[in-house]
Amino acid sequence: MATKEPLIIRDKTQMTKWSRTMRSQSKLIALVPTMGYLHQGHLSLITEAHKHANVVAVSIYVNPGQFSPNEDLSTYPSDFQGDIQKLMSVPGGVDVVFNPKNLYDYGDSDSGEGGDGDGGVGVVSCIEKSGLGHESWVRVEKLEKGLCGKSRPIFFRGVATIVTKLFNIVEPDFAFFGKKDYQQWRLIQRMVRDLDFSIKVIGCEITRENDGLAMSSRNVHLSPEEREKALSINKSLSKAKSAVEDGQVQCEKLRNLVIQCITEAGGTIDYAEIVDQHSLEKVELIKGPVVFCVAALFGKVRLIDNMEINL
Provide the residue ranges of all domains of the chain, joining segments of one domain with +: 7-204, 222-302
| Neighbouring residues of 44: CB distance < 8 A, sequence distance ≥ 6 | 178, 204, 205, 207
Q: What local confidence, expressed as pLDDT, does residue 76 receive?
A: 84
Sign of CA dihedral 190, 193, 195, 198: positive
The per-residue pLDDT for 255 is: 98
Q: What is the DSSP string of 208-256?
A: B-TTSPBP-GGGGGS-HHHHHHHHHHHHHHHHHHHHHHTT--BHHHHHH
For the chain, what percent of residues have pLDDT higher than 90?
A: 83
pLDDT at 127 over 80: no
Per-residue model confidence (pLDDT) at position 216 = 95
Q: In what order do the strands lie in the sheet with 55-60?
A: 7-9, 96-98, 55-60, 29-34, 174-178, 200-204
**Residue 113: predicted pLDDT:** 42
Query: Rounded CA gap, 275 and 33, in Å?
Result: 26
Q: Does domain 222-302 have CATH number 3.40.50.300?
A: no
Decide whether 7-204 matches 222-302 in CATH topology. no
Q: Give the pLDDT band of residue 132 (cuts 50, 70, 90).
A: low
Note whether 59 and 164 are within 8 A (CB).
no
What's the rounded mean pLDDT across residues 181-204? 98
* The pLDDT of residue 119: 39
pTM value surpassing 0.85: yes
Is the confidence at residue 118, as pLDDT, over 50? Answer: no
Are the C-beta atoms of residues 224 and 197 closer than 8 Å to each other? no
Q: How many angstroms from the chain centroid is the CA of residue 121?
A: 21
Q: pLDDT value at position 123?
A: 52
Which residue did the predictor score with more confidence, 52 or 73?
Answer: 52
Whether 50 is a known active-site residue: answer no
pLDDT at 2 exceeding the cut of 70? no
- Would you identify the CATH topology of the domain 7-204? Rossmann fold (3.40.50)
- Give the whole-angstrom CA distance, residue 251 versus residue 284: 5
Q: What is the mean pLDDT of residues 62-72?
A: 82
Residue 283: its pLDDT value, please?
A: 98
Active-site choice (42, 50, 221, 278): 42
Segment 275-294, tens digit of pLDDT: 999 999 999 999 999 999 99
Contact by Cβ (8 Å): 104, 134: yes
Residue 222 phi, psi dihedral angles, 5° rounding: -80, 135
Q: What residues contact residue 2 under an 8 Å CB cut-off, 6+ apart?
A: 85, 88, 89, 93
